[in-house]
Amino acid sequence: MRVISGKVRGLKLNTPKNDDVRPTTDRVKESLFNVINQYIMESTVLDLFAGTGSLGIECLSRGAKKCVFVDVSKESIALVKSNIKKARVENESVVLNLDFKDAISRLETQNSKFDVIFMDPPYYKDMFINALEKIDNADLLDEDGIIVIEHDSKDDFPENIGRLEKSKSKKYGNTTLTFYKL
């Protein structure tokens, strides 16, 4: 697993020692960033189920100004912190070892807004819907922002969740990327 582009292009990131975390493949990540690259420069990013931190670090490498990394797993948080240090993006990073619901609540109380929100949780469809509803209710997405969900291709998501509207889906084998906007 590596950073594809930007100031730390080619940097190999630390990966998990078990199968509990399922990092985004380089092929899917490259396709994803071809779609969302226009959103990245000077953006504020939320990597909600961070895992390794790969997606948020890719954004920082490409010119995002800040990324908040959230994960409930202490092992994942340790991995995220080691990758942030390896990429030398500590000053642009905030790491929260919280459940996604608690993290969204905290970010709401801080009046946080994000240009890009990544959601790549364990593949439980109800968790996606719940997280999208909470993001919408907390008003975390900037009016011109985008939410990216990486999920199993068997899952289908509604056209609308609150004020969020599905803008497109792209399938890559067993993985699908679905995009929501306000």
Place of tokens 């490498």: 61
Beta strand 66-70 pairing with 44-47: parallel
Rounded CA separation 43/142 (Å): 10
Domain ranges, ordered by start, for the chain: 31-181
| Neighbour count for residue 117 (Cβ, 10 Å) | 23
Element (H, E) at 77: helix 74-87
Q: Per-residue pLDDT for the chain (182 aa), expressed as one digit of tens each?
A: 899 999 999 999 998 876 666 667 778 888 899 999 999 999 999 999 999 999 999 999 999 999 999 999 999 999 999 999 999 999 999 999 999 999 999 999 999 999 999 998 775 657 889 999 999 999 999 999 999 999 888 888 899 999 999 999 999 988 899 999 99
Dist. CA 154–CA 131, nearest whole Å:
19
Overall CATH class of domain 31-181: alpha beta
Question: In the prediction, which pLDDT does 24 show?
Answer: 78
148: β partners: 118, 179
